[in-house]
Amino acid sequence: MEFSLKLQQLPEQFFAALVQKVNKAVSEGRDVINLGQGNPDQPTPLHIIETLQQAALQPQNHKYSPFRGIPEFRQAAADFYKNTYDVDIDPDTEVAILGGTKIGLVELPMALLNAGDTILLPDPGYPDYLSGVVLAGANMVTMPLTAENAFLPDYSQLDEDTLKQAKLLYMNYPNNPTGATATPEFFAETVALAKQHGIAVSHDFAYAAIGFDGQKPISFLQTPGAKDVGIEMYTLSKSFNMAGWRVGFAVGNKDIIAAINLIQDHLFCSVFPAIQHAGVAALTEHLGQMDALSDLYESRRNALVEEAHRIGWDITAPAGSFFAWLRVPEGYTSAAFADLLLDTCDVAVAAGNGFGTYGEGYVRVGLLVSEERLREFIQRVERLQLFI
């Protein structure tokens, strides 16, 4: 039986191919340091697990969830944004519960765009953004993220025809894969652009809790006028080590939220209520654990950068996220260097070209193993004598 043309047009799952390579190496008995994926290595905090356990014992939580999620979770999301970012959110009209923000990012183009409409995407960027483009039948225009512009898009490079046709813009800070962070000035520029050209904005705030050197990542919705044009998607995966729980939310512009809720009415029946109650615990209790988690990643970042500089690998320290974006040695492509590391050093990294054209020349490294293993990674690379 043939797949539909739409399924045939979907991009290859970049990370699935990477996992296959790593699994093959591990099955051969090799000691692989896997730095290629973005899977948090720390446990979910105990109070969240205990809330899930108690909620799972309640018979009412085994019934269908309300389509728009339980009121307590929407209220917790609104309170979290007020307490953390001083942003006012209406829990009834400005919150959409998501079964992980990947769902929101893929379904949003289908909710807002017609076939042939244009979406503006960062390059490099999270590969699954492309899935929503294909499913919506939209046109894609990429915005290069380069070191010369601090890995922020340069809106002056977008021509007038593109801006007239653009209906949706995606951005993501702290950024995957580059580890860059946004400034208030950039967010203000984004709001002005969106208002001038009637473009909806979606900010993927997946790494909201992870900022370094005393700088906490800022929310797009803190920008004056941001709610007039856009939303922010917040996942519990990274801030609370809940990647497998598949839960998050979108907040912001009530019309965009209504579009998300409407398409989800037809696709889902929200998230298991016990998980939503656990989400309430995550957003309201022991929030100091978020700072401790960020400190852990910063310590790992420092170990990686220190060891890389020791061998002459001139890498830039990420400002946020749990990724480092490393230039490959001269004479190598991203894919060739990633293959070299796996084949000769038993180290898995994500080739930068898998994130877009402007990812060429880089590999992405996850700060998701111990400091000792990060140092060992560099020591294994040192044996290749590439940076003499």
What pLDDT digit, counting tens, does each position of 320-364 carry? 999 999 999 999 999 999 999 999 999 999 999 999 999 999 999
Q: pTM here? A: 0.96
- Token readout for 111 is 């909710």
- For the stretch 263-306, pLDDT in tens is 999 999 999 999 999 999 999 999 999 999 999 999 999 999 99
How far from each other are the two terminal CA atoms of the chain, in whole angstroms?
55
pLDDT, tens digit (0-9, with 9 covering 90-100), for 217-241:
999 999 999 999 999 999 999 999 9
46-284 belongs to CATH 3.30.230.10? no
- Record the tokens describing residue 119, joined without a space: 């979406």
pLDDT, position 11: 86
**Quick one: pLDDT band at residue 69, thresholds 50, 70, 90?**
very high
* Distance between CA atoms of residues 319 and 309, nearest Å: 17
Per the CB < 8 A criterion, the answer to whether 41 and 368 are in contact is yes
Model pLDDT, residue 227: 98
Flag whether pLDDT at 166 surpasses 80.
yes
**CB-based contacts of 62-66 (< 8 A; 24+ apart in sequence):** 63/273, 64/269, 65/269, 65/270, 65/271, 65/272, 65/273, 65/276, 66/270
CB 232 within 8 A of CB 86: no
Q: Which residue has the tokens 């473009």?
A: 199
**2-16, 64-78, 116-130: which range is least confident on average?**
2-16
Q: Which residue has the tokens 């896997």?
A: 34
The pLDDT value given to residue 14: 73
> Tokens at residue 103, please?
């769902």
15-64: pLDDT as tens digits: 777 888 888 988 999 999 999 989 999 999 999 999 999 999 999 999 99
How many CB atoms lie under 10 A from the CB of residue 388?
7
pLDDT reported for residue 248: 98
Tell the residue number behind the tokens 């809940």, with chain if given. 242
* Confidence at residue 37, expressed as pLDDT on a 0 to 100 scale: 86
Question: Above 90 in pLDDT, residue 311?
Answer: yes
Query: What is residue 18's predicted lDDT score, i.e. its pLDDT?
Result: 82
Contact 313, 326 (CB under 8 A): yes
Question: For the chain, what are the domain ranges?
Answer: 5-44+288-382, 46-284
* pLDDT, position 21: 87
Q: Does domain 5-44+288-382 have CATH number 1.10.10.10?
A: no
Has residue 380 got a pLDDT over 80? yes
pLDDT for 383 equals 95
Q: If pLDDT is split at 50, 70 and 90, which confidence band does 388 have?
A: confident
Q: Supply the mean pLDDT for the chain.
A: 96
Q: Is the pLDDT of residue 12 over 90?
A: no
